Amino acid sequence: VVEAKPAALGNALGSCMETMAQLCRNESWENGVRRLAYEFVISAIEGFPSQPLPAMVEEALELSMAMMLEVEDDETWGSQLTNYDTAEDVLVEAGQVGISRLASVIPDILLLPAMSRILSKYATQAPWKPRHAALLAIVQS
């Protein structure tokens, strides 16, 4: 329903989006549940009949970044014996695909300011995971 006709949810769409965003961020849920909640958010924006609200765009992009932060630390990543591929992680892959999907449906006038704010925040953090997520987002958009 949300993919084809998000307007069918009427006034409940906002609260549904908020609930799904909370599920996405809650690490106590299994990755499959978190990915499905994220899929709901992305599909709702894709199916939105008019331009989505800037707050919805910002929230969806933040969720995408949160998904891409789920990459696992692997101390042997740089060794020749390790085959490291972020696509094997379902949440990281979902975040990457979600950024690409959002970039294809959100008008640049809404997308670019939000992406700029979010990428600036992530790219300037000291830990490697936020910088890695920022680079993935740039590549996907």
**Tokens for 60?**
């969806």
Contact 87, 93 (CB under 8 A): yes
Per-residue pLDDT tens digits for 13-33: 788 889 999 999 999 999 999
Amino acid of residue 40: F
Contacts of 113 (CB under 8 A, 6+ apart): none
Contact 42, 98 (CB under 8 A): yes
Q: Is the pLDDT of residue 7 over 70?
A: no
64 vs 75, which has greater pLDDT? 64
Residue tagged 């849920």 (tokens): 29
pLDDT at 12: 79
Kindly indicate the confidence band of residue 5, based on its pLDDT and cuts at 50, 70 and 90: low
Per-residue pLDDT tens digits for 114-132: 999 999 999 999 999 999 9
How many Å apart are CA 116 and CA 84, to the nearest integer?
29
Contacts of 52 (CB under 8 A, 6+ apart): 45, 60, 106, 110
